[in-house]
């Protein structure tokens, strides 16, 4: 929940990192903290947002390493499976949006049309707040919008909405190119969010999957590819 504070060991466990690695990030000025570098205190929502941004920037090798040590993962458990979050009715083709702002609104509308949300306005505001930190768009034409905070009060359950707009949208990717595949990721719990985000990013690095998603003709085909 927003406002929860963690010490170094607690934050490292939450992030699936070794305390020494997180301490190094603190001393390098990368990880957000308060107090002094020898005894840092972390706001859970701030460190979660930092971790999300970090996952979006990881290459395939680092994503694989992160998934192997991801927090919340049971012993000998494989990568997070998206079948827990996505289904054909959660895939939307030809979404009528042409700007970043309108795409965020349409993604929320898609989720709300399925009865997944308690308050669409709250989710939209949280998505905007997350985008204000840095864009969730990735090189290669993907974007993975997700809320600033993860709690059980945004949605009735965790879910993944897949949406393809009628035209590619400039969403802030570092390569300067527009996005044409959007994945709205909403999780009720922080650990689930980080695992799902890492799995999705890892999958999207596969160029064969990306091409197949764009060539798919119906929601069932897209859902099957992701699962």
Show me where the domains of the chain are located: 5-56, 82-226
In this prediction, residue 1 has a pLDDT band, given cuts at 50, 70 and 90, of very low
d(CA 1, CA 17): 20
CATH number for domain 82-226, candidates 3.10.110.10, 3.40.1360.10, 3.40.930.10, 3.30.230.80:
3.40.930.10
* Residue 177 burial (C-beta neighbours within 10 Å; 0-12, 13-18, 19+): middle
pLDDT in tens, 75-88: 555 678 899 899 99
Task: Tell me the C-alpha to C-alpha distance, in Å, between residue 54 and each of 65, 136, 167, 170.
Answer: 13, 11, 28, 21
Show which residues are catalytic.
146
CB 178 within 8 A of CB 169: yes
pLDDT in tens, 89-101: 999 999 999 999 9
Distance of CA 107 to the CA centre of its chain: 14
d(CA 225, CA 151): 28
69-89 burial, b at 16+ Cβ within 10 Å, e below that, comes to ebbbbeeeeebbebeebbeee
In this prediction, residue 164 has a pLDDT band, given cuts at 50, 70 and 90, of very high
pTM: 0.84
Torsion angle of C-alpha atoms 214, 123, 63, 132, degrees rounded to 10: 100
pLDDT in tens, 175-210: 999 999 999 999 988 888 888 999 999 999 888 999
Helix (H) or strand (E) holding 27: helix 19-27
């Amino acid at each position: 929940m927003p406002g929860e504070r963690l010490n170094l060991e607690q934050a490292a466990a939450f992030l699936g990192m070794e305390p020494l690695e997180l301490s190094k990030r603190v001393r390098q000025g990368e990880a957000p903290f308060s107090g002094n570098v020898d005894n840092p205190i972390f706001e859970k929502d701030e460190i979660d947002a930092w971790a999300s941004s970090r996952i979006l920037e990881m290459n395939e090798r680092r994503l694989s390493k992160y998934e192997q040590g991801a927090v919340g993962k049971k012993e000998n458990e494989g990568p997070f499976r998206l079948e827990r979050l996505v289904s054909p009715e959660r895939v939307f083709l030809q979404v009528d949006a042409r700007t970043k702002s309108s795409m965020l609104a349409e993604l929320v509308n898609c989720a709300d049309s399925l009865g997944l949300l308690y308050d669409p306005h709250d989710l939209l505001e949280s998505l905007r707040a997350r985008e204000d930190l840095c864009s969730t768009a990735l090189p290669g034409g993907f974007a993975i919008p997700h809320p600033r905070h993860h709690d059980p009060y945004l949605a009735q359950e965790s879910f993944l909405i897949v949406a393809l707009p009628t035209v590619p949208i400039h969403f802030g990717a570092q390569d300067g190119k527009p996005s044409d595949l959007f994945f709205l990721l909403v999780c009720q719990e922080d650990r689930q969010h980080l695992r799902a985000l890492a799995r999705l990013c890892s999958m999207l690095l596969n160029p064969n999957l990306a091409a197949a998603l764009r060539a798919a003709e119906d929601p069932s085909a897209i859902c099957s590819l992701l699962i």
